[in-house]
A = this chain, B = another copy of it.
Amino acid sequence: MAPFINHRQWTVEWGQCDPAGIVFNSRFFEVFDVSTWLLFEAALGVKAHELAKTFNIVGIPLVDARANFLKPAKLGDVVEIASQVTEFRRSSFEVEHRLSVNGELTVEGSETRVWATRDKIDPEKFGAVAIPADVVARLSRA
């Protein structure tokens, strides 16, 4: 697989930094989340708020998230973000986000998400269903 990679930029804001003057850890997970939505938008041509309706799912809930903080990012840093799906399974997939500042890898994040639908019997519950072949194809080609 030669995954579709979405590139975007994020300039670190004052309100995202902690008393040490660097980005507070939870902010990176916000950035990962947005980056995944934008990756899907870029690859599928479907905006975040139309994804559920378009594919008849409830969404792509997160079941696992991880970040490795290699270097701190600080106020004003221009962070380059490269996001891609690194693995597709039947109904779940892995997203990887690589954040760099001045060409140096700063944070590596990854998310495990599920292609989720509402349970037919109990609408309070979610179920994982097979990811459409077209979605896999569009996120898998360079």
Chain A residues engaging chain B, CB cutoff 8 angstroms: 13-15, 17-21, 24-27, 29-30, 33-34, 37, 47-50, 58-59, 61-69, 72, 74-76
Contact = CB atoms under 8 A, between A and B. Distances in A.
Q: Is the interface of A mostly helix, strand, loop or mixed?
A: mixed
Given A47-B76, A68-B63, A68-B64, A24 B15 contact: yes
Number of copies of this chain that the complex holds: 4
A34 B10 CA distance: 13
A64 B33 CA distance: 17
A61 B37 CA distance: 27
14 contacts: A13-B48, A14-B37, A14-B48, A15-B25, A15-B34, A26-B29, A47-B76, A48-B75, A49-B74, A49-B75, A64-B66, A64-B68, A65-B66, A66-B67
